[in-house]
Amino acid sequence: MVYEATATAPVNIAVIKYWGKRDTKLILPTNSSLSVTLDQDHLRSTTTSRADASFEAGDRLWLNGKEESIKEGGRLWTCIKELRGWRAAEEAKDAAKPKISTFPLRIASYNNFPTAAGLASSASGLAALVASLAQLYELPQNASDLSRIARQGSGSACRSLFGGYVAWQEGVQADGSDSLAVEVAPREHWPDLHAVICVVSDAKKGTSSTAGMQQTVQTSPLLQARLKVVPQRMADISKAILDKDFDEFAKITIADSNQFHAVCLDTQPPIFYLNDVSRGVIALVEELNRAHVEATGHLLAAYTFDAGPNAVIYAPEANIPTVVAAVNKYFPQAEAFPDPFKVGTAAALPAGFNEAVVPAGGWPKGAVKQLIHTKVGDGPRRLGPEESLLGPDGIPKTLA
C-alpha cells in the first residue's frame, strides 16, 4: 500500500500588499492583504508527499530536484509537524486509520516557472506542500484551517489555498488562530480578470522580503499611517470584486502597490524593488489609462509590483490585446510571447495615447525579458498517481 498524494497549488499576486509582521515566529502580519489567485494552467507548484514505514528514518524534501534541509524549528519543519500532528490526532480517534503519521516522509516539489522569472515561488510552493500533505493524511480540515498552517511556512502562501479572490485576515489573537485566508469571491464570480506578467531583468538582487519588511516595521515613520489606510482599502476592493467594478479595483490596486513601495523607500536603509524598467511600465500603463479614460470613461488596466521589479498588469479580458500590444511595442522582449489566449500583438492603442511617456526609440530589447499571460484561477488541485514526482525509492524521478 502506497500512501502518497500529489497536489498543485497556484501563484497569487496581492492587490493589497502584505508588508510587515507583528509576530515573526508565527508570521502574523501588521495588516490584512488581498490577492488574486492565478491560473495553474500557466503557473503552478506541484508537490508529491509520500509516507512509507520502510523509508530510512527522517523526512527528506527536494525542491526543483535539489534537496533542502528541514531544519528543526524552521518553516518547513513547522508546517510538516502541524499537519502530522493533525493526522496523529485523527489516528488516535479512529483505530482503523493506518498510523502513517509515524512514517518518514519523502517530499518532492517542482515549480513550472523558472526561479529566474522572479515570481514569488514560496507562496505556491508552501501551499502545494500543505495541500499534498493534507491529501496524504486525509485531513478533514478546510482550506481556511490549512491556510493557518501554510501561513507559518510563508505568509502569503496562506492565500494560495483558495482560488479566485482571497483575503488574508490579519486577526487579533496572539496565537494566530484568527490570522487566516478566506474566500472573497470564487473565480467563477468574476472570471473575466486577466493578468499579464512583465518579467523584468534586474542586475542587482533586491533585499529579501523577510528581512525588508521587518526593517520597515522598525524604521519607517510612514508605516503606521499605511496600517490605518489598509482596512478601508480591504473593504473597498472587496466590494469592487463583488461588484465586478474594474475601475475601482484598478484604482485601489495601483494605489496600494505604490504605497507599499513608498513605505519601502521610507525604510532605513531604503529598500528599492522598482527599477527604471518598472518605472517605464508604470508610465506606460498610466498613460494607457489616461487615454482610455478620456475615450471611454474607464481605466484600461492596473499594475502591481511585489518585492521585485516585475510588473503584474491586471485587466478585463477585452483590454488585454491593447495591453499586450503596448508592452510588446515599447518593450520588445528577448523571448517570443507564447500568447496562450491568441490575442496577438497588433491591437490599436487608445486614441490620444501620448508616446512621449516612452523613451525615444522604445526600451532596449530584453528590458522586459518575457510576457506571461494568465488569468484568475482555481485553488489547489489533486493530481493522479501518474503525476507523482517521486520514484519507487522515494527519490525524485528527475534524479533517478
Summarize as ranges the residues that interact with a copy of itself (CB under 8 A): 203-204, 221-222, 224-226, 229, 254-255, 258-259, 261-263, 265-270, 272, 274-276, 279, 282-283, 286, 359-360
- Residue 29: CB minimum distance to a copy of itself, A: 19
Choose between 64 and 275: whose C-beta lies nearer to a copy of itself.
275
Choose between 97 and 329: whose C-beta lies nearer to a copy of itself.
329
- Residue 316: CB minimum distance to a copy of itself, A: 21
Residue among 34, 33, 50, 42 at smallest CA distance from 10: 42
Choose between 107 and 315: whose C-beta lies nearer to a copy of itself.
315
- Residue 390: CB minimum distance to a copy of itself, A: 38
Choose between 266 and 378: whose C-beta lies nearer to a copy of itself.
266
- Residue 272: CB minimum distance to a copy of itself, A: 5
- Residue 80: CB minimum distance to a copy of itself, A: 34
Return the residue matching grid coordinates 502518497.
Answer: 4
Q: Where are the alpha helices (DSSP H) in 244-381?
A: 246-265, 276-296, 320-330
Query: For residue 240, how many other CB atoms are within 10 A of its CB?
Result: 21
Residue 82 cell numbers, joined? 502541524
- Angstrom distance (rounded) from CA 10 to CA 44: 5
- Residue 334: CB minimum distance to a copy of itself, A: 19
Peptide bond into 269 cis (omega under 30): yes
Choose between 172 and 235: whose C-beta lies nearer to a copy of itself.
235
State the maximum Cα–Cα separation within the chain, in Å, rounded to a whole number: 73
Q: How many CA atoms lie less than 13 Å away from 213 in the CB half-sphere?
A: 19
Q: What is the DSSP string of 274-304?
A: --HHHHHHHHHHHHHHHHHHHHHSS---EEE
Choose between 185 and 357: whose C-beta lies nearer to a copy of itself.
357
